[in-house]
Homo-oligomer: A and B are copies of this chain.
Amino acid sequence: MLIDYKEAAEFLRSHGNYYILLHTSPDGDAIGSGFGLCYILRKMGKNANVLCTDNFPAKYDYMYLNYTPQKFNPDTIISVDLADTKLLGSKLVQYGDYVELCIDHHVSNTEYAKRTLLEPEAAAAAQVIYQLVKAVGLVQLDSMIAQCLYTAIVTDTGCFKFSCTSSKTHLAAAELMTYDIPAAEINRRMFDIKSKARIKIEQHVLNTMEYYLDDKCAIAAVTLDDMKRAGLPDEEFEGMTALTTLLQTIEVGITIRQKDENKYKVSMRATGDIDVSAICQKLGGGGHTKAAGCVVEGKLEDVKLKLLSAVAPALGIDLWLA
């Protein structure tokens, strides 16, 4: 059932002991929304913990350095930025059927929760949380909550760069910045600083990138060996797909990351009107229209062919006549 801000606020006010579930491979929006909401609930006098199957990348640690899990019996399971219970991962899958409230911005949300506060036009789940707080005066924001929500918004919008950014996104940022947050440091940390391993793997991505379909599609593949050689932990691969869209002519940029011998995680980014979510859905995945993903099995060269066959029609290119 889809609910509105007022109903979501009433729900949060009338319960007391929350588990907040995040998706696997948590990104800035998941972590910022999760901890932001956790601190909001605690400020409302509730018990709340953040749960995730995977570890959090160290770059986000300023959001949870002062966080301590509370001891309580959870009576209310909620989720943020979680489009599908498939993304709960092994440690949280047990909660999949018991989510009372989901706060999300994914148009692909499967409405698995009893109540869903969904704003598909919001740039980030954190923007929905911000609007919830403001719409109903849920709580007075503070610097820590503002840092979490700001981080979530900048990571999901590429620092207000992507088309998901709206006037409302900037209004949220304008108010969050009044809470004396180190915005420029957060942005250097999120967008500029890289480890030697990351620089190395970006190098590899750029060096091995291949252009297809009249330079409208670029594919970069990274094997387990490449990741090991660079010394880059799996969770720090985030954001790499942006590198495949640098060339002006590119309409679909793709990274293929090896997960197992014959199993590849595919991330797609669209620069224009192509709906990569539709392409990824055909391949068993999903996501947003401009950023989506799927898992494809097979040998690397076959995976590439499969992807190009799925992308070509969207670009109006007939592979067999080309």
Cα separation A7 to B190 with both chains bound (whole Å): 42
Of chain B, the residue at the smallest CB distance from A248 is: B193
> Is B184 a contact partner of A163 (Cβ separation < 8 A)?
yes
Residue A203, interface by CB 8 Å: yes
> Is A163 a contact partner of B183 (Cβ separation < 8 A)?
yes
Question: Which B residues lie within 8 Å of A191 (CB)?
Answer: 161
Which of these binds chain B: A28-36, A166-174, A254-262?
A166-174
Question: Which B residues lie within 8 Å of A165 (CB)?
Answer: 177, 183-184
Residue A94, interface by CB 8 Å: no
Question: Which B residues lie within 8 Å of A247 (CB)?
Answer: 193-196, 199
Question: Given the known A-B contacts A194-B246, A206-B202, A246-B192, are A170 and B177 also in contact in the complex, defined by CB atoms under 8 Å?
Answer: yes
Residue A53, interface by CB 8 Å: no
Cα separation A271 to B184 with both chains bound (whole Å): 9
> Is A195 a contact partner of B161 (Cβ separation < 8 A)?
no
- Shortest Cβ gap from A261 to chain B (Å): 30
Chain A residues bordering chain B, tally (CB within 8 A): 38
Of chain B, the residue at the smallest CB distance from A160 is: B160
Residue A76, interface by CB 8 Å: no
Cα separation A194 to B171 with both chains bound (whole Å): 30
Question: Which B residues lie within 8 Å of A71 (CB)?
Answer: none
Cα separation A165 to B159 with both chains bound (whole Å): 12
Residue A212, interface by CB 8 Å: no
Residue A187, interface by CB 8 Å: yes
> Is A173 a contact partner of B193 (Cβ separation < 8 A)?
no
Question: Which B residues lie within 8 Å of A206 (CB)?
Answer: 199, 202-203, 206
Question: Given the known A-B contacts A184-B161, A199-B247, are A170 and B167 also in contact in the complex, defined by CB atoms under 8 Å?
Answer: no
Question: Which B residues lie within 8 Å of A289 (CB)?
Answer: none
Cα separation A161 to B206 with both chains bound (whole Å): 24
- Shortest Cβ gap from A176 to chain B (Å): 8
> Is A174 a contact partner of B171 (Cβ separation < 8 A)?
yes
Cα separation A192 to B271 with both chains bound (whole Å): 10
Question: Which B residues lie within 8 Å of A68 (CB)?
Answer: none
Question: Which B residues lie within 8 Å of A203 (CB)?
Answer: 203, 206-207
Question: Which B residues lie within 8 Å of A177 (CB)?
Answer: 165-167, 170
Of chain B, the residue at the smallest CB distance from A203 is: B206
Residue numbers of A with Cβ under 8 A of B are 158-163, 165-168, 170-171, 173-175, 177-178, 183-184, 187-188, 191-196, 199, 202-203, 206-207, 242, 245-248, 271
A-B contact pairs, 12 of them (CB 8 A): A158-B159, A161-B191, A167-B174, A167-B178, A174-B174, A188-B271, A192-B242, A193-B247, A199-B247, A202-B206, A203-B203, A203-B207
- What would 6 more interface pairs be, CB under 8 Å, given A199-B246, A199-B247? A161-B191, A163-B184, A165-B177, A168-B174, A193-B247, A194-B247
Instruction: Please provide the 3 A-B residue pairs with the shortest distance between their CB atoms, ordered closest to farther.
Output: A163-B184, A170-B174, A167-B177
